[in-house]
Structure 1
Amino acid sequence: MAFHHAQYASSLNQSLAELNGDINVSFEFFPPATPEMETLLWNSIQRLQPLQPKFVSVTYGANSGVRDRTHGVIERIQKETDLVAAPHLTLVDASDEELLQLAKHYWNSGIRNIVALRGDLPEGSPKPTRFAADLVRLLRSVADFDISVAAYPEVHPEAANAQADLVNLKRKIDAGANRAITQFFFDIEAYLRFRDRCVAAGIDVEIVPGILPVTNFKQLKRFAGMTNVNLPGWLHQQFEGLDEDPSTRSLVGASVAIDMVKVLSREGVKDFHFYTLNRAELTYAICHILGVRPKASAAE
């Protein structure tokens, strides 16, 4: 038995030592709808700021009220923090002319990073005629933005098949996107296979895994149902019986996400994007384990 223990210990030591490499992280937030959520958001931003993420993105509501809140959060991040703010931009509810104006406005107000998405179609919409690749081209025509686009390791719910989805991603990259960020996933094999297929298709940008630290499994099942994400049997087992036990759920969620990032980093992943759901605790802990920590100030 001693040999097995030693082997396990050395592999754990090795995998944690490897993590002290050059890891980049980015965080996603959403615009708050209530004063309580606003407080939570800004507390989270303050907590995560010292980790010096590559950028922080703010999601985009399709209706104009939420859209204004998105702009408000972006502007405040720019004014009050040292963070690089990246607004989400969708084209489903705006004409090319409006998008050009908005892109120019963003560029002139110092915003260089954008997450470019087609956006969810409203109920009963006709088939779309403009796609995320068109938005990437439009942004490129305005200025030299740093553009992230979405990728779907388990295939976009509206795609005809996996190959068609991959072709669509290649269009977005060929149009000038700098990186792809994946939909959240828990099937690590699916991500790794997808990454290989991207390379084989000539997609030569980073395929950044989107990591969702889970605390609310019921809510996750709803998300996953809408987005075509497979929740493996082991994940159901981990959260079984914890519906009324949020503190244990939180520990389980951290453990799951930490295991995932360890495996991914051993597979050569150096960039991670965290869907924070405006909460800092789990994301902060996972970053700490990845070796992403506040930089000591020169005075110390």
Structure 2
Amino acid sequence: MSSTPSAKRLPLPVSFEFYPPNTEAGGDKLKAVVQELGKVAPEYFSVTYGAGGSTRERTLSIVQDIAALGFEAAPHLSCVGSTRANIAEILASYREHKIKRMVALRGDLPSGTATAGEFRYASELIAYVRETRGADLHIEVAAYPEYHPQQRYAKRDLQHFANKVRAGADSAITQFFYNPDAYFHFVDEVRALGVDVPIVPGIMPFHNYARIAQFGQRDGIEIPRWVALKMEGYMDDTASIRAFGLDVVTRLCERLVAGGAPAIHFYTLNQSALALEICARLRR
């Protein structure tokens, strides 16, 4: 099917996530990807932040590049390993660059780092951002429909999420998933706790099945057995893998649209083709 954008509107808002490239050539390529994805009028683009702030400068640079192309951009900001002083410095930089949206995360410590810093949880970072910046930043937080991989008890994970919202989060983006029932059940559970912010499903197209299967195993994300078996059965048939993956993720998105999801956030792995194709299919 063609991925040429049509005049028909998407049935719900979309946004896209990138990671900061390591090279100048990668940065130039990403600008082209932004312009391609910009054809579907995304709500914003987000840019990830390495463990312990290891990509801090590159994250901000990519955000500035996206803004220069005429789109809203939201840097990720993780707090583990940080102090109030360096978070205040980053927030001041955001104000200077007129950044109005961010994704607040607990994050991971870089390998070999022993101290967690002054913030233990994302809820503490969010409370500090609100204390420092007031209401002039839109704060996104992470949600885990299949629960956080480091959390043994679902009820405790739900409470951690509710704490982030009560600390001042405006909306949430989920970890990627392939089981829509997990998303709808998670939404029902947090609504029962009084959480009423939009919870946007995060969607990962099958850019590279082996790599995504590794992500899933690491992060506790279920890839349905029938999908995994078909993907593995295609072996090196990249055309069949691409076509089947597009069908699976399109049906997932259609189910989310029908169920009332407020938007869709695509994890792009810095590529545009699959996300554009899915958007084109959702327009029909």
TM-score normalized with structure 1 length: 0.85
Secondary structure of 1:241 counterpart = helix
8 Å Cα contact 1:210-1:275 kept in structure 2: yes
- Is contact 1:40-1:279 (8 Å) kept? no
1:87 matched to which residue of 2?
Answer: 75
CA contact 1:104–1:142 (8 Å) conserved in 2 = no
**1:159-182 alpha-carbon deviations (Å, 9 max, x no partner):** 231110000000000011011110
Deviations for 1:119-148, whole angstroms, at most 9, x for unmatched residues?
A: 013446467852101111111122221000
Match of 1:32 in 2: 21
Q: In structure 2, what is the equivalent of residue 170 of structure 1? A: 162
Q: Deviations over 1:99-130 (max 9, x none)?
A: 01111210221100000000013446467852
For 1:157, the aligned partner's letter is: P
1:156 and 2:148 aligned: yes
Q: Secondary structure at the match of 2:233?
A: coil
Residue in structure 2 matching 1:62, options 37, 51, 59 = 51
Q: 1:32 to 1:288 in 2, by over 3 A?
A: same
Structural RMSD (CA): 2.0
Q: Aligned match of 1:256 in 220, 229, 248?
A: 248
Q: Displacement of 1:277 after TM fit? A: 0.6
Q: How many residues align?
A: 273
SS in structure 2 at match of 1:68: helix
Residue deviations 1:198-249 (CA, integer Å, cap 9, x gap)? 1111110111100000131111111011111111112113312333222322
Unaligned ranges ≥5, structure 1? 1-18, 293-300
SS in 2 for 1:160: coil
Report if aligned partners of 1:44, 1:279 keep a CA contact under 8 Å in 2. Answer: yes
The residue aligned with 1:23 is 12
Q: Note the 1:86-165 alignment, pairs <5 A.
A: 86-123=74-111, 125=114, 130-143=120-133, 144-165=136-157
1:284 equivalent to 2:273? Answer: no
Contact 2:31 2:65 in 1 (8 A): no
> Structure 1: which 4+ aligned runs deviate by more than 6 Å?
none
Structure label with greater radius of gyration: 1
Change in 2 beyond 3 A, CA 1:43/1:127:
closer
1:250 and 1:93 map into 2 onto residues whose CA distance is: 39
Sequence identity of aligned pairs in percent? 37
- Aligned letter for 2:131? S
Q: Which moved more, 1:57-66 or 1:105-114?
A: 57-66
**CA offsets 1:238-267 (integer angstroms, 9 cap, x no match):** 312333222322222211110100111111
Letter in 2 for 1:103: L
Q: CA deviation at 1:74?
A: 0.8
Residues of 2 paired with 1:196 and 1:177: CA distance?
18
